[in-house]
Amino acid sequence: MSGGGGAGSSPGGRDPGPASGGDSGRWQDAESEFRQPVLALALATGVAGYVDAFSLLRYGVFVANQSGSLIHLGMGLAGHFPVWPAALASIIGFGLGGGLAHLLRRRVESHRRAPPGPQLSVVIGVVLLWAGLEQALAVRQFGLAQRVPLAAVGAVGMGMLAVLFVRTAGVKTTTTYQSGTVLNTGENFVNWLLRSDRHRPSSRRWLLGFVGTGCYAAGGGLGALVTPWPVGVFVGAVVGLVVLLAIVRSPRFGMVD
């Protein structure tokens, strides 16, 4: 479920699959990478919402939802959002994280599709680095100079998480922002209501949408509750990511031509 409004998907919201001769790593399906793909979707979106709520309340900017960061950047350039440099740092960090994730994926795959264990391990490492920087920089004075690097590092981790997988059960999936998820869920739900046969497998498309949006919102609520205790926020994020790592399939299972 793409955050970009599903422009690249078919009318039914289904990923069209890789083009001939394309990069197979771009089209990995969570079903081939995780033993419990729906749980993986729930954990990834939940963690993203969890840290996004923390970063918004703590730094004033998002680290996962880059649509929000772009709005903040525009507001800042118009003179209405003083911490816009932190939003810009988040945008840059998110893009860098996504690029690093793709690079790591290619090096690990060697032209074969492999479960994202190494990539997810790096995400956990980045979150731990973020936690260390939070403890080092967030002292008595907590101004823009501290928010910029913290937002950037957090966004690197979320950018890597965003490309962890791009399909769940053949449906386009984005874990760190939900605008396209809401759009595709509504479209698929209406299509499902209009079908005479509602037991077709296509009904899972909108159900997955509810999983993604619901877990993102639930993660945001939990993150807001824990924000007064930053150490607890990072412990919760790492625990969620470790569970996600624990349900990664074995490399031999996931490596296919």
The answer as to whether 67 is a domain residue is yes
Give CA–CA dist 99/83, Å, rounded.
25
Q: How confident is the model at residue 16 (pLDDT cuts 50, 70, 90)?
A: very low
Digit-coded pLDDT (tens) for 200-256: 555 667 777 788 889 999 999 999 999 999 999 999 999 999 999 998 876 554 443
The answer as to whether 239 is a domain residue is yes
**H/E element, 168:** strand 167-168
pLDDT at 25: 41
Q: Which domain holds residue 128?
A: 36-250
The answer as to whether 11 is a domain residue is no
Give CA–CA dist 186/197, Å, rounded.
18
The count of structural domains within the chain is 1
Digit-coded pLDDT (tens) for 47-68: 999 999 999 999 999 999 999 9
**Better pLDDT: 177 or 57:** 57
pLDDT at 41: 87
Residue 117 identity (one-letter amino acid)? G
Give CA–CA dist 92/156, Å, rounded.
8
pLDDT at 92: 98
Digit-coded pLDDT (tens) for 74-91: 999 999 999 999 999 999
Which of 106-115, 136-145, 163-172, 239-248: highest mean pLDDT?
Answer: 239-248
The answer as to whether 175 is a domain residue is yes
Residue 111: both structure tokens together = 């032209």
Q: Angle CA(74)–CA(76)–CA(81) in degrees, nearest 5?
A: 125
Residue 61: both structure tokens together = 């900017």
The answer as to whether 103 is a domain residue is yes
pLDDT at 33: 73
Spatial CA neighbour of 14 closest among 162, 179, 169: 169
User: What percent of the chain lies above the pLDDT cut of 90?
Assistant: 48
pLDDT of residue 137 exceeding 80: yes
- Say how many residues make up the chain: 257
The answer as to whether 255 is a domain residue is no
pLDDT at 180: 66
The answer as to whether 179 is a domain residue is yes
